[in-house]
Amino acid sequence: MKSIYPDLTRHPYYIVTPNYTSQSGGVKALHLLCHWLNRTGERAYILAYGGSDMVVNPDFLTPLLRPEIVDAHGADGLTPIVVYPEVVVGNPLQAQCVARYVLNYPGLLGGDKVYAPEELAFGFTKKLAEACGPDAPVLHMPLVDRSIFNPGRPRLRKGAAFYAYKYRDLHGQQVFGLPDGAIEITKCRPDSQTPAVIADILRSVEVFYSFEDTQLNIEALLCGCPVVLMRNSYLKTSLGEHEYGLDGIALGDSPQELERARDTVVAAQFNYQNLLDNFEIQLAELVKLTQAKAAQTPAARVNASIIAA
């Protein structure tokens, strides 16, 4: 250890994000990015575009950016590295050093379809990084809380569960191919199950039928439950197919595919651990890239008028 004090020559990170919610993987990724940057010795802060009060996870290291912090960094001649998610249009903070965390396809949920050439765009998965450009780095953050979603003690499994929120509620489609008595898992409803209850369901059923690309698919695997992807016009591929592969996942409900999925559930759990280990490597590389970019950028303060006092 060189010093117990932070390195004040390092350029700080300002991460623009919505309020914390456990219902959004993208929002969790932004807040956890701030948390892990601080865990590794960087100085990172979050702010809400528009200056609204922030809701944070009290268990994360996510200090709020204040105007006086911006002033202090400016007085020290530092260049803030502003991290925007892909849904933010343009560069509202008028930052000189921008990194763009692409958590879904550019422009799909809002935001720009093409980013300024001076921005450093990086993808949540390899597929999303490729959508940004041939050399865009990847920062994949495995987001499942394994203290909740784990195999638990061995138990007799029976029945099935399914998830079709967007497929049915947003796209107006009818579910198909489900066995009688399948338990529906829901989110974003007043009566939706808690994560702990969902995990208990996934530990009790023989198979999980999924009609969309959702984190629940990974949560099921970590609970020891094989997943059947019910292919439809809204589920043709997975954003994380490079990272997670098809261990534990059946493409359709044929007996052969389901048998293969059952036989590879444990392999899927090992794959997940490898992704966790690789995250720290990817984060270190991203820090190296962004710090180098900031060092080559003239020091300039961001537009603090939209930062809550």
Confidence at residue 62, expressed as pLDDT on a 0 to 100 scale: 98
What is the distance between the alpha carbons of residues 247 and 237, in angstroms, rounded to a whole number? 15
What is the distance between the alpha carbons of residues 35 and 29, in angstroms, rounded to a whole number? 10
Q: Which helix (H) or strand (E) holds 79?
A: none
β-pairing, 98-102 vs 160-163, is unpaired
Tokens matching residue 15: 């991460």
What is the distance between the alpha carbons of residues 204 and 50, in angstroms, rounded to a whole number? 44
Please give the DSSP secondary-structure letter assigned to residue 89.
Answer: -
Cβ atoms of 202 and 226 within 8 Å: the answer is: no
What is the distance between the alpha carbons of residues 246 and 238, in angstroms, rounded to a whole number? 10
What is the distance between the alpha carbons of residues 76 and 49, in angstroms, rounded to a whole number? 24
Alpha-carbon separation of residue 18 from 29, 31, 67, 85, 303 (angstroms): 11, 9, 19, 10, 18
Alpha-carbon separation of residue 256 from 131, 259, 263 (angstroms): 33, 5, 11
Residue type, 168: R
Tokens matching residue 91: 């560069």
Q: Three-state SS for 287? A: helix
List helix spans (H) across 115-251. Answer: 126-132, 195-204, 215-222, 241-244
- Assess if CATH 3.30.310 describes domain 13-140+276-306: no
C-alpha neighbours within 13 Å on the C-beta side of residue 67: 8
Confidence at residue 52, expressed as pLDDT on a 0 to 100 scale: 65
- The closest alpha carbon to 300, from 84, 17, 50, 82, belongs to 82
Per-residue pLDDT of the chain (309 residues; tens, 9 = 90+): 678 888 889 999 999 999 998 888 999 999 999 999 999 999 999 998 755 678 999 999 999 999 999 999 999 999 999 999 999 999 999 999 999 999 998 888 788 889 999 999 999 999 999 999 888 999 999 999 999 999 999 899 999 999 999 899 889 999 999 999 999 999 888 899 999 999 999 999 999 999 999 999 999 999 999 999 999 988 877 888 899 999 999 999 999 999 999 999 999 999 999 999 999 999 999 999 999 999 999 888 888 777 765
- The closest alpha carbon to 25, from 112, 119, 145, 129, belongs to 145
List helix spans (H) across the chain. Answer: 25-39, 67-75, 126-132, 195-204, 215-222, 241-244, 255-263, 265-295
What is the distance between the alpha carbons of residues 198 and 221, in angstroms, rounded to a whole number? 13
pTM of the prediction?
Answer: 0.91
Please give the DSSP secondary-structure letter assigned to residue 301.
Answer: -
Where in the chain are the domains? Answer: 13-140+276-306, 160-239
At residue 80, φ and ψ (nearest 5 deg) are -65, 140
